[in-house]
Amino acid sequence: MTPLSPLIAVLSYVIALCGIVPLYPWLDLLPRLFLAAGMSAGIWQDRRGAWPLKNWMLNASIVPLFLYYAAQFSRFNAVQPVVSMLAVMLAVRLLGEKSGRHYLQIQSLSLFCLASSSLFDLSPSFLLYLTLLLLLAALSLVLLTFQAHDSRMTLSSRDLRRVLAAGLLIPLAALPLLVFFFPLLPRTQLPLWNLLAAPASRPSGFSDKVETGGSSNVGDSSQLVFRAELSRLPQQLYWRGTVFNRLSGQRWVRDAAVPAERIVYGTERVSQVIYPEPALSRNLLALDAAAEIRAIRVKRSADGVYELPLVSGRRQNYQAESSSRGMLPVKGSIDRDFYLLLPETVPARIRSLAAEIRGRADSDQGRLTLLEDYFRNGNFRYGKQGLPTGEHALEQFLFESRQGHCEFFASGFAVLARAAGVPTRLVGGYLGGEYNDLGGYYLVSEQMAHVWVEVFIDGKGWLRIDPSSFAVNSGAIWGVRQPAGLVKRLRMVLDSFDHAWNRSVITYDLERQIEVARHAGKWLQAFRAERVLNSVFRPLMALAAVVGIALVLTNRRRLLLSAQERLLRGFYRRVARDCGIQAQPGSVGLFELAEQSGNHRVRTFADIYAAAVYRDRRLTREELLVLKRLLREGFNPPS
Amino acid sequence: MKTSAANRAVTAMLDSLCGKHLQGKEEVLRLAVIALLAGGHILIEDLPGLGKTTIALALASSTGLSFGRVQCTSDLLPSDITGLSVFRRDEGNFSFLPGPIFNNIVLLDEINRAMPRTQSAMLEAMEEQRVTVEGVTHALPDPFMVLATQNPSDQSGTFPLPESQLDRFLICTGVGYPPDDLEKEIIARGGIRERISGITSVASAADIIAARRTVAEQVYLSGKLVDYIHALVAATRCHAMIQAGLSTRAAINLAQAARAAAFLEGRDFVAPEDVKGVVASVCAHRLVLRPEHDAADRRLLLREIVAGIVLPM
């Protein structure tokens, strides 16, 4: 025997946890403390069975807190006070003595808490918590109805199992409806809580400037930047984000006044769908180099950089078409002076090296080869520690330490190239990506942020050069493919689940709905009924036959009338026709009918039939024949 | 049919009674015989002067069974019925003088005039089929049937039987006025009381005992009929107008009476019609109606309930 009350209490605490856990990281300290205290004190008091604080006291005590949070509420700080208040209210309910009403309040407050956690973050774990909460809430509601009937009720384990099964069946029965309604229910095109959708700023490997010598160490962040759905490509992947076209002091920046140029993209395109994580960047990334990016209000600059007018912060995927050959052919000429511009502060050692290169070759191609040779033979090393700092960081890197990360390589290369008279620009983006075979997409994280250069070769166009690849240890860093360990594979599986969630739930909006509808329409148009029928006819018929036979077998007593029942019906029909007595089987007995009709043939029938039925035996063959003959001849035969 | 020998004797008896001597009382007689065959007792409830006593006398004399009669009054003592020990001076010891209850058929006339104490003594004897007087238990003869009569209880100076004691009667029925022409004939000819002594017995006590055994052992009660009876009893228990539905004893008695009715119909199995035919007489007096519906006709109510139950076929 299991008493119900402790079971309901435990269920309520688990339900409350389902609401608290996802919200907890986003709460302020005060509501956090409240929740922890309320939960533990509630459990302790439930075990003790005594509640020194009455509910009305608790309710009254949070009124000042409510006023405090109400005062904090404003258009710009709308969520935190509300969420904090929710948490405090839940904590108070957990703390107090609980009747059925209070359990219901705990359930709804937990649901609100879980829902409000989605204002901060919508991860797939939300689905997990929601499912758990709904299942447990349904279960607890069923138990509460029993408890409302008798608060000290105990159930035997068999009854309890049945009650639990019924409680679990309720939400499970609603699941098909969920699948049906999900694509249908109205969606907004824009996120409901735009203000919140911008995530907390985080350190980014990809920024709007490249500055060498800022710090001696560069952190590594494995934070996801975007996922790109495309088939696996054999070559090293460069994800082009932005172009830095002007050096001001130590810093490469992007000059918004990009000189006009006409890039001619190849016709061999790689199509990809990019799912960026929400970030503060306006740049749209794509495989180098994107001929086209289809997104709302996207703006393309002449140098092939795609930007959004605003930081949206919402998850929005876009499709990109790239022609990836490491070369951007340009039709006509470019503004060479713009891409040769260098500030006065470029050190003399760099200028003299550049002058030497300029003297030894007179074409862009020739000078580029010399530059590449300089880097390739210069014993440069790629590293993220012990970086040169300060004003002369670049000079130190080029001539002394010869150790740096991609920004040093790219920046050094670009400065030298410009000084040597070769138009050059820096390109910021990402290099590489982990391919997720399960989901069929590349995962690109912050640590893959990279900077390389594009060098203009007259008559050809912009050539992509990655100076970091000239480092002596570049092969060790980019060439080796890590073996796919169990952990990594597991991570990939989890990530593909995350991706599927983002793809099909978070970014599922009106557009996708319309797309689904259009697909359905197309599919219906292309639907050839006969073809489908032909292919499924046989299995369908077989299935129908099996189901039909099973139904008939299980309901045979109801469906198929026994010979006796057929006889009986025939008898009543005969009596109605021949003797004019309308009666239903079951309402007027056989002998009654014989009595009423006064017909000896009816009497005979009743005698024979009843003698079998009321003696619990079957009619013998002879009896059946006699009865059938009686029915056939009728009760008033023409004698 | 196996039942034929016993059946013939009993039906012949019934036919002769109904046809020759007690015209217009067929239904009461049939029920009395059913009670006799089922080993139960019958309570006839009607106004005085409708032939209650005559029926009892006629039944006794036509079966050749011994007959005893007790006229109940408010000062009737239990020993007046059961008998008592008297001192025989000549023999020098006490000997037991059996009372009127030591007969096969006992008529308890106007049972509701007796005191509850006496009533309960009689009813105990009915139930147990034996009497204990001064520590000695005396078995009552077999077959034994009590035929009690009762005036409707709104008459003055009566002690109406409580429900628990009503429950001991297998059958409770009225007599009713005879049909008009029959009544005229009776008026013209006078009563038949004096002629009853001249009725020749058609069946013997042995016949009755054989018929009883046949009813109990050879009339088949199908599982379908058991279900039907159970459905009927269950329906009375959840009826809106009824405070206490039929007891299990009522169900047992209904089955017994139905067997006897089937036997009288010449069948060796019970049909639903047998149950329907006796249900009002067997069950009506056992129903306890809600106070607000106390005036309702119980027999009518039972018939309504029965009409709502599907006959097994």
User: Contact B269/A614, CB-based, under 8 Å?
Assistant: yes
Amino acid B4: pLDDT: 63
Residues from chain B that touch A612, judged by Cβ atoms under 8 A, are: none
Amino acid A542: pLDDT: 92
pLDDT in tens, A573-606: 888 888 888 887 778 888 888 888 888 888 888 8
> Which of the four pLDDT bands, split at 50, 70 and 90, describes residue A265?
confident
Closest by CA position to A120, among listed A89, A182, A74, A78: A78
Amino acid A197: pLDDT: 43
Nearest Cα of chain B lies from the Cα of A604 at a distance, in angstroms, of 13
More confident residue, A553 or A40: A40
Domain CATH code at residue B247: 1.10.8.80
Closest by CA position to A614, among listed B273, B213, B252: B273
**B220: nearest CA partner in chain A:** A615
Does B33 lie in the same domain as B181? yes
Which residue range forms the structural domain that includes residue B147? 4-216
Token duo for residue B156: 């003055």
Does B131 lie in the same domain as B35? yes
Does B155 lie in the same domain as B30? yes
Nearest Cα of chain B lies from the Cα of A550 at a distance, in angstroms, of 27
Give the span between the Cα atoms of A141 and A111, in whole angstroms. Answer: 14
User: Contact B313/A615, CB-based, under 8 Å?
Assistant: no
> Torsion angle of alpha carbons A493, A497, A499, A501, nearest 10°?
180
Amino acid A196: pLDDT: 46
Q: What is the average per-residue pLDDT within A248-266? A: 84
Does B199 lie in the same domain as B92? yes
Interface test with B, best of A561, A605, A614 (most B CBs within 10 A): A614
Nearest Cα of chain A lies from the Cα of B312 at a distance, in angstroms, of 6
Amino acid A199: pLDDT: 44
Residues from chain A that touch B220, judged by Cβ atoms under 8 A, are: 614-616
The residue with tokens 């007995």 is A589
Nearest Cα of chain B lies from the Cα of A616 at a distance, in angstroms, of 6
pLDDT in tens, A497-538: 888 877 777 777 777 778 778 888 888 888 777 777 788 888
Amino acid B133: pLDDT: 81
Does B147 lie in the same domain as B134? yes
Amino acid B1: pLDDT: 43
pLDDT in tens, A138-147: 999 988 988 8
Residues from chain A that touch B271, judged by Cβ atoms under 8 A, are: 589-591, 610, 614
Q: Does the pLDDT of residue A190 top 60, yes or no?
A: no
Does B13 lie in the same domain as B54? yes
Q: Does the pLDDT of residue A206 top 70, yes or no?
A: no
pLDDT in tens, A22-70: 999 888 899 999 999 999 999 998 888 888 888 888 889 889 999 999 9
Tally the C-alpha atoms within 13 A of residue B137's C-alpha that lie toward its C-beta: 6
User: Contact B225/A614, CB-based, under 8 Å?
Assistant: yes
User: Is A492:A438 a contact under the CB 8 Å cutoff?
Assistant: yes
Does B189 lie in the same domain as B279? no
Give the span between the Cα atoms of B44 and B150, in whole angstroms. Answer: 6
Does B188 lie in the same domain as B71? yes
Does B265 lie in the same domain as B138? no
Token duo for residue A520: 């359905």
Q: Give the pLDDT of chain B (313 residues) as one tens digit per residue.
A: 444 667 777 777 777 777 666 767 788 888 888 998 888 899 988 877 787 778 888 888 888 888 888 888 888 888 888 888 888 888 888 888 888 888 888 888 888 888 888 888 888 888 888 888 888 888 888 888 888 888 775 567 778 888 778 888 899 888 888 888 888 888 887 777 777 777 777 778 888 888 888 888 888 898 889 999 999 999 998 888 888 888 898 999 999 999 999 988 888 889 888 898 899 889 888 888 888 887 788 888 888 888 888 888 7
The ipTM estimated for the assembled molecules is 0.82
Q: What is the average per-residue pLDDT within A194-221? A: 55
Nearest Cα of chain B lies from the Cα of A22 at a distance, in angstroms, of 54
Give A595-636 as a 3 state SS string.
HHHCCHHHHHHHHHHHHHHCCCCCCCHHHHHHHHHHHHHCCC
**A569: nearest CA partner in chain B:** B313
Output DSSP code: residue A344.
T
Domain boundary among the residues B199, B216, B233 is at B216
Burial profile A414-425: b = 16 or more Cβ within 10 angstroms, e = fewer: bbbbbbbbbbbb
Does B114 lie in the same domain as B254? no
Does B67 lie in the same domain as B204? yes
> Which of the four pLDDT bands, split at 50, 70 and 90, describes residue A187?
low
**A615: nearest CA partner in chain B:** B222
Give the span between the Cα atoms of A37 and B133, in whole angstroms. Answer: 83
Give B183-219 as a 3 state SS string.
HHHHHHHCCCHHHHCCCCCCCCHHHHHHHHHHHHHHC
pLDDT in tens, A73-97: 887 777 888 899 999 999 999 988 8
Amino acid A36: pLDDT: 93
> Which of the four pLDDT bands, split at 50, 70 and 90, describes residue A446?
confident
Token duo for residue A163: 């009650």
Domain CATH code at residue B195: 3.40.50.300
More confident residue, A129 or A390: A129
**A595: nearest CA partner in chain B:** B273
Interface residues of chain A, partner chain B, Cβ below 8 Å: 568, 585-592, 610-611, 613-616
Count up the domains in chain B and report the number.
2
SS3 A215: coil
Does B106 lie in the same domain as B229? no
Residues from chain A that touch B272, judged by Cβ atoms under 8 A, are: 589
Domain boundary among the residues B216, B237, B253 is at B216
User: Contact A613/B224, CB-based, under 8 Å?
Assistant: yes
Identity of the residue in B224, B267, B276 whose CB atom sits nearest the CB atom of A589: B276
Q: Does the pLDDT of residue A633 top 70, yes or no?
A: yes
